[in-house]
Structure 1
Amino acid sequence: MTPEEQDAFETLLANCADEPIRFPGAIQPHGLLLTLSEPGLEILQVSANVETLLGRTPQSLLGQPVEGLLGQAQAAALQHSVQQPLLSNDSPLTVALNGMTFDGLLHRHDGVLIFELEVHAGHYQPGSIAGNLTNLGRMLQRLQGAASLQALYEVSVREIQALTGYDRVLIYRFEEEGHGQVIAEASGPSMEVFNGLFFPASDIPRQARELYRKNWLRIIPDAGYQAVPLVPALRPDTGEPLDLGFANLRSVSPIHCQYMKNMGVLSSMSISLLKDGELWGLISCGNRQPLHVPHELRMACQSIGQVLSLQISAMEALEVSRQREEKIEALGLLNQAMIDSPQNVFDGLAGQPEVLMNLTDAAGIAIIEDKQLHRYGNCPEPDEIRALHKWLQQGGQAVFASHNLSAVYPPAEAYQHVASGLLAMSLPKPVDNGVLWFRPEVKETINWSGDPKKPLDLENSEAGPRLRPRASFEIWKVEMAGISRKWSHGDLYAANDLRRSALENDLARQVRREQQAVRTRDDLVAVVSHDLRNPMTVISMLCGMMQKSFSSDGPHASRRIATAIETMQQAAGRMSTLLDDLLDTSKIDAGRYTISPKTLDVGQIFEETQALLMPLALNKNISIAFESEPELKIHADPERLFQVLSNLVGNAIKFTPRLGTVGVHAALGGNEIVFTVKDDGEGIPAEQLPHVFERYWTMKEGNPNGTGLGLYITQGIVEAHGGRIEARSEVGKGTEFRFTMPMGD
């Protein structure tokens, strides 16, 4: 093929993949198709063969009520059908016209009513139908009684062949890679056998698969038909082509018809097999001669397909359940090993290499935990495993599986003899970690129906080059390299479950370590606090005694000593306060902060707080006001509430400039008391406001001696009472703290 021909081939192949098969603008000739308006049922479009079948020109029918074509009685029956809440073709309308009998099929799609008049099969191909419907119930029972999936497939193809008379009935299953394999077949003696063969993905293009997923059944009675166009070609109401995706008479691609002829069949029917709403496979029927299966038999075959789909889903689910059950004991042993490991979960797994390998029937495993790498069985080299693990991390998958690793990770081709298959899991940790299971290459020969690399060909015509489906379906043997045995559903379940257990155990270890760290810190704070309090008390007492001996009004040396003693007392007091704050912080962090609530009078609490803090306010000429609604009672710990108010009001005084104002207010708010402490000070910048209740937050300017624990402890006290606290502030206008406390009896 020349470069020009190759370019033309690639272009045509892309166009084929995107062919609008739902909008062919034509139907097959074994019936008529009309689109009707509602509710008047005027004819909007009609297939051109209305003239050959019924002796009426399309132009004479367009825009006319369908009654003019069907007659009054049959039009009334149609009107009754379209008024039903759900259209169903299980029992089609029987329509008699021009000495012929038609099956009337109805469906709505894309805002239009589509009415198909399919020629009854007895008139189309007399005496060609084998089987009947009397044994359908027994057929369905045999399907439900199949002991295995393969037995289920075999029963299905035999029953459908007996029911319909097709020369060949096969089940075609789609593989993960996109191609398909024939897994069951019932064929006449003259038919070429396809059972076990693989077919390229291009035999059933993407858009065809999507149509098959939505539409259970398709039929082509005669692949040699001449397509019948619709008149007019576009919908009068929208100016768009008519979507025939759900029409029984839809015309198919000429390439597909030629494909059928190349396979030696002139008639076909396909029934979709769905699993979890996705296309799992097809029941594909073919006949050497034209064959029109009646609508009733097609509905029976569709029922078989639906039952088969349910049975496949149920039996595969049972198989998955069985595979999972086989893993339970090993997963339990590995979970216990992770629990018992003194270091980390991966060390525990490394102590059970045989169990870990047998869990997924792997030939080798690698276990990574930071700088540690454990290898067992047949594995790539350490540097190769590290590079592979780095690639896996970039992918971001918690569990990764491939039975053709070199296809997605080319460096693996160098060691595909030990690692053509990879199953891997890892945990979300800051260090490298994970378990990698390896399976070796299993060279096998796959039998394809024709050359999988040449599903389509190119031919020249008067209109230029065009695609031609492959003409050869001879067995094409391909040796598959770099392929391992596939990982089963059970293997994937085992990897996911092991990851879950590892994650739970790893988190539990982290929690225990955190708890131990908190306990250690609490013990340290308690010991330091206890051991420092006595010396601090002694220092304070000695400072008090020394102050009596040195006066700030005495000689120069005496004044210096008095100032130093005062500084020492202030430092001792500050250290005592810091020790209290550290103890409170430790209890809050550990969730062990306790309160002793009782019923308190808010007015009395305000009086005590005002008496304590008024000197601070007077020292800066700050106006401070405490206001409370009358007779407010709260349920709170008096010492802790006093601590909250002292901290908030003290901060307000500290950060309010001279001659400023501070307001403290309490009011009833539902079933709680709402306290507000508001100042007109410098305010808190917006970017800092979300952090004011964090540990060690402090406004550096104007508060050089702050510990940064006051608001954190205040929040802890409020929340210990079941309340909440928030801060609002605007730079240059002041700050408001609002907190709630439970109402007292």
Structure 2
Amino acid sequence: MNPLDAQAFEALLDNCADEPIRFPGAIQPHGLLVTLSLPELRIQQISANVQALFGLHANALLDQPLAMLTGPEAAAVVQQAAGVAEPMEVPVLELNLQGIRYEGLLHREHNVLVLELELKPDEVEFNTTMAKVRNLSRMLQRLQAAKTLPALYDICVKEIQALTGYDRVLIYRFQEEGHGQVIAEASSPSMELFNGMFFPASDIPEQARELYRTHWLRIIPNADYQPVELVPRLRPDTCEALDLSGAVLRSVSPIHCQYMKNMGVLSSMSISLMDGERLWGLISCGHRQPLHVPHELRMACQTIGQVLSLQISALQTLEISRQREAKMGALERLNTAMVSNPNTVFDGLAQAPEQLMALTDASGVAILEDNVLRRYGQCPPADDIRTLYQWFKDSQQSVFSTHCLSTLYTPAAQYKDIASGLLAMTLPKPVDNAVLWFRAEVKESIPWSGDPSKPLNLEPSATGMRLSPRTSFELWKVEMDGISSKWSHGDVFAANDLRRSALENDLSRQVVREQQAVRARDELVAVVSHDLRSPMTIISMLCGMMQKAFSSDGPHTSRRITSAIDTMQQASSRMNVLLEDLLDTSKIEAGRYTITPQPLDVSQIFEEALSLLAPLAMDKSVDLTFHAEPGLKINADPERLFQVLSNLIGNAIKFTPAQGKIGVAAMSNGQDIVFSVRDSGKGIPAEQLPHIFERYWTAKEGNAFGTGLGLYISQGIIKAHGGQLLAQSKPGEGSEFRFTVPQIA
């Protein structure tokens, strides 16, 4: 095909894919279709064959009551059926029109009622049909008794062929790649056999599959028909084409009719097979001669299709359960290997490579962790595996599988003989990590019905080039390369479950390591605090002794030594405070901070605080006041509570300018005592306020010697009491810290 023909072919193929099969504007001629307004039942559209069937002109019937077409008695039957809330529950209507018996089918379509009329079978044919239908329960019992999927398929095609008389009945299953395969067939001796053959996806375009997904059945009694147009062509109320998706009489694509003829059949019926909401496949029936299957038999076949769909889903679910169960022993052994290894989960898996390969029936497996790559069985070269891992990592999938790797990842063609199939998993870790299972290439000859590379033909017509369906359905074998055997649901499940176990084990190890690190840190802080406290005490005592030996009123040298001793004593005191803070912080973080609560009188606490902190306020000319409601009693640790008060009041004194005010108060709110420390300082900037209780946070100005642990520890102390410590502040107006402590009744 030259480039111009190829472009024309692609354009026509796009047009074919966009063909409005739901809105053909016409019906098949074996019945009559009329649309009716609701609730008046006035005729909106009618098929043009009304004149041939009833001797009435289509245009003369438009906007007339239905009775003009059917007579009042039949119109009343339709009117009564139209009143049913759910039209799907309306049985087929028996209507007598001009002395001829018709079957009427009703459905609603976007605010209009669609009535389809088909001739009712004569008495002999009707009795034969009903006799077959009465055997439906026996057929369904046979389907439900099937223990395997192949047995289920075989029963189904044979029963439907016996029920309908079609020359060929087959089950066609859609594959993941889009094409389909015939997996069961019942055919008369004169028919070409298709069992086991593959058909290209283009044989059933996507829009046709969507119709099959939403509607159970489609019938074509005679592919050699002339479509009957609707009058008018468009709906009068919307000026749009009528959606005929739900119409039994819907006209089908001319390309499909030609496809049927090329296949050697003139009539067909298709029944959808569903797996939940997904179109799983079709029951496809074909006959060499025209054949109209009565409505009752069609409904029986539809019921068989629905039961078969349920059975397929049930047996597939059972098979999936069997596959999963078969993997559990290997998964448990691999989990034990991961748990028992003292290093990492990947080291544990590396101790059981044979079990790891057997888990997914792989021919090779690679285990990657950071710079370490271990390979077992048949694997690509190490550099290729690392490059493949990066490609898999970029896909951002935690578990990935394919049986045709080179079609997705071109470099894999270099090692397709040993790695055409890939199943891979990775854990969310900061280092590169993965388990990659490989399957070797399987040389396979796929039987196609005709040349799959030519699903459609391009041929000349009176209006130019046009598409036509392929004319050959003969066996066409295609040698497939670059593919492996498919990973089963059980294989993919095993990879996911192994990943889950590995993730749980890895997280457990991380928790243990973090707990050990916390314990080691706590022990270090405790040892350092204890070991430093003694020499710091000695330094402080020596400083006191040295101060007695030197006078600040003595000579210049003596004054310098006295000043240095004062500095040393201040530094040692600060060091002792810091050690205490670090020890408290360690206990808070580890969740081991404890208090010893006892009954306390709030007024007494305030008196002690005033006597100790008032001198600090006086040195800075800050007015410090305490006020407590009479008789307040709390249950608290006196040493720790005073630590909180002194920290909050000390901060207030530090950040309040001279002549400022600090008010300390306590009041009851019913259950708790609310303490507040309010100052008239410069306040805390809004952007800093959310961070003041964080570890090591200090104000940027006016706090050169702060450790940033005071408020963090204070909050921990109040939480240990079962209360809360909160802060409010407005720059330029001051700050207020509030905390609660349980009240004693």
* TM-score range normalised by the length of the shorter chain: over 0.9
Q: Tell me, in whole angstroms, the C-alpha distance in 1 between the residues paired with 2:112 and 2:668.
A: 64
Does residue 203 of structure 1 match 2:203?
A: yes
**Aligned twin of 2:7:** 7
**Aligned twin of 1:183:** 183
2:270, 2:284 within 8 Å by CA — same for their partners in 1?
yes
Note the C-alpha offset of 1:91: 1.9
Structure 1 residues 591, 224: CA separation in 2 closer, same or farther (over 3 Å shift)? same
Q: Tell me, in whole angstroms, the C-alpha distance in 2 between the residues paired with 1:673 and 1:269.
A: 83
Residue identity opposite 1:354 in structure 2: E
Q: Tell me, in whole angstroms, the C-alpha distance in 2 between the residues paired with 1:83 and 1:435.
A: 62
**Aligned twin of 2:714:** 714
Note the C-alpha offset of 1:728: 4.7
**Aligned twin of 2:334:** 334
Q: 1:457-478 deviations in whole A, cap 9, x for unaligned?
A: 1122222222111111111110
Q: 1:554-579 deviations in whole A, cap 9, x for unaligned?
A: 44333333322222222122111111
Aligned to 2:87, the other structure's residue is in SS state coil
Residue identity opposite 2:523 in structure 1: D
Q: 1:649-675 deviations in whole A, cap 9, x for unaligned?
A: 433333344444445555666855555
**Aligned twin of 1:652:** 652
Equivalences for 1:249-328 in 2 at 5 Å? 249-328=249-328
Residue identity opposite 1:150 in structure 2: P
TM-score, length basis structure 1:
0.94
Structure 1 residues 650, 203: CA separation in 2 closer, same or farther (over 3 Å shift)? farther
Q: Tell me, in whole angstroms, the C-alpha distance in 1 between the residues paired with 2:671 and 2:221.
A: 78
Note the C-alpha offset of 1:280: 0.9
2:233, 2:241 within 8 Å by CA — same for their partners in 1?
yes
Note the C-alpha offset of 1:585: 1.3
Equivalences for 1:54-453 in 2 at 5 Å? 54-88=54-88, 91-122=91-122, 132-453=132-453
**Aligned twin of 2:570:** 570
Note the C-alpha offset of 1:623: 4.6
Structure 1 residues 617, 42: CA separation in 2 closer, same or farther (over 3 Å shift)? farther
Note the C-alpha offset of 1:533: 1.2
Residue identity opposite 2:506 in structure 1: D
Q: Tell me, in whole angstroms, the C-alpha distance in 2 between the residues paired with 1:534 and 1:26.
A: 102
Q: 1:20-76 deviations in whole A, cap 9, x for unaligned?
A: 322222222222223333233333322222232223333333223334433333333
Instruction: Indicate the RMSD between aligned Cα atoms, in angstroms.
Output: 2.6
Note the C-alpha offset of 1:715: 2.9
Residue identity opposite 2:423 in structure 1: L
Q: 1:139-196 deviations in whole A, cap 9, x for unaligned?
A: 0010011121110011111111111111111111111111110000011111111100
More deviation in 728-737 or 77-86? Answer: 728-737
Structure 1 residues 341, 117: CA separation in 2 closer, same or farther (over 3 Å shift)? same
Residue identity opposite 2:325 in structure 1: E
Does residue 544 of structure 1 match 2:544?
A: yes
Structure 1 residues 122, 624: CA separation in 2 closer, same or farther (over 3 Å shift)? farther
Q: Tell me, in whole angstroms, the C-alpha distance in 1 between the residues paired with 2:69 and 2:666.
A: 86
Structure 1 residues 39, 642: CA separation in 2 closer, same or farther (over 3 Å shift)? farther
1:674, 1:741 within 8 Å by CA — same for their partners in 2?
yes
Aligned to 1:290, the other structure's residue is in SS state coil
Gaps of 5+ in 1: none
Aligned to 1:701, the other structure's residue is in SS state coil
Equivalences for 1:590-739 in 2 at 5 Å? 590-598=590-598, 600=600, 605-606=605-606, 608-624=608-624, 634-662=634-662, 664=664, 672=672, 676-729=676-729, 731-732=731-732, 734-739=734-739
2:84, 2:90 within 8 Å by CA — same for their partners in 1?
no
Residue identity opposite 1:468 in structure 2: S
Q: Tell me, in whole angstroms, the C-alpha distance in 1 between the residues paired with 2:32 and 2:504.
A: 64
Residue identity opposite 2:697 in structure 1: W
Structure 1 residues 606, 277: CA separation in 2 closer, same or farther (over 3 Å shift)? farther
Q: 1:440-489 deviations in whole A, cap 9, x for unaligned?
A: 00001001111111111112222222211111111111000011010011
Note the C-alpha offset of 1:321: 1.0
Q: Tell me, in whole angstroms, the C-alpha distance in 1 between the residues paired with 2:741 and 2:28.
A: 80
Aligned to 1:279, the other structure's residue is in SS state strand
Note the C-alpha offset of 1:438: 0.8
Q: Tell me, in whole angstroms, the C-alpha distance in 2 between the residues paired with 1:627 and 1:260.
A: 99
Q: Tell me, in whole angstroms, the C-alpha distance in 2 between the residues paired with 1:13 and 1:732.
A: 76
TM-score, length basis structure 2:
0.94
Note the C-alpha offset of 1:132: 1.3
2:37, 2:111 within 8 Å by CA — same for their partners in 1?
no
Aligned to 2:265, the other structure's residue is in SS state coil
Structure 1 residues 138, 523: CA separation in 2 closer, same or farther (over 3 Å shift)? same
Equivalences for 1:583-594 in 2 at 5 Å? 583-594=583-594
Q: 1:600-655 deviations in whole A, cap 9, x for unaligned?
A: 55555555445544444444444555566666655544433333333334333333
**Aligned twin of 2:35:** 35
More deviation in 16-25 or 611-620? Answer: 611-620
Aligned to 1:329, the other structure's residue is in SS state helix
1:728, 1:736 within 8 Å by CA — same for their partners in 2?
yes
Aligned to 1:34, the other structure's residue is in SS state strand
**Aligned twin of 1:515:** 515
Does residue 525 of structure 1 match 2:525?
A: yes
Note the C-alpha offset of 1:8: 1.4
State the identity %.
Answer: 67
**Aligned twin of 1:52:** 52
Residue identity opposite 1:200 in structure 2: P
Note the C-alpha offset of 1:501: 0.5
Residue identity opposite 1:308 in structure 2: L
Aligned to 1:546, the other structure's residue is in SS state helix
More deviation in 209-218 or 50-59? Answer: 50-59
Q: Tell me, in whole angstroms, the C-alpha distance in 1 between the residues paired with 2:383 and 2:676.
A: 64
Q: 1:86-135 deviations in whole A, cap 9, x for unaligned?
A: 22256212222133333222223434333322333559999997971111
Note the C-alpha offset of 1:678: 4.7
Q: Tell me, in whole angstroms, the C-alpha distance in 1 between the residues paired with 2:603 and 2:220.
A: 92
Gaps of 5+ in 2: none
- Report how many residues are paired: 745
Q: 1:486-510 deviations in whole A, cap 9, x for unaligned?
A: 0011111111111111001111111
Q: Tell me, in whole angstroms, the C-alpha distance in 1 between the residues paired with 2:373 and 2:55.
A: 83
Residue identity opposite 1:73 in structure 2: E
Q: Tell me, in whole angstroms, the C-alpha distance in 2 between the residues paired with 1:699 and 1:676.
A: 21
Q: Tell me, in whole angstroms, the C-alpha distance in 2 between the residues paired with 1:711 and 1:55.
A: 98
Structure 1 residues 287, 306: CA separation in 2 closer, same or farther (over 3 Å shift)? same
1:402, 1:487 within 8 Å by CA — same for their partners in 2?
yes
More deviation in 326-335 or 12-21? Answer: 12-21
2:594, 2:720 within 8 Å by CA — same for their partners in 1?
yes
1:128, 1:291 within 8 Å by CA — same for their partners in 2?
no
Structure 1 residues 715, 168: CA separation in 2 closer, same or farther (over 3 Å shift)? farther
More deviation in 265-274 or 458-467? Answer: 458-467
Structure 1 residues 729, 271: CA separation in 2 closer, same or farther (over 3 Å shift)? farther
Structure 1 residues 474, 624: CA separation in 2 closer, same or farther (over 3 Å shift)? farther
More deviation in 418-427 or 2-11? Answer: 2-11
Residue identity opposite 1:591 in structure 2: G
1:89, 1:106 within 8 Å by CA — same for their partners in 2?
no
Q: Tell me, in whole angstroms, the C-alpha distance in 2 between the residues paired with 1:277 and 1:155.
A: 24
Aligned to 1:698, the other structure's residue is in SS state coil
Structure 1 residues 314, 638: CA separation in 2 closer, same or farther (over 3 Å shift)? farther
More deviation in 498-507 or 206-215? Answer: 206-215
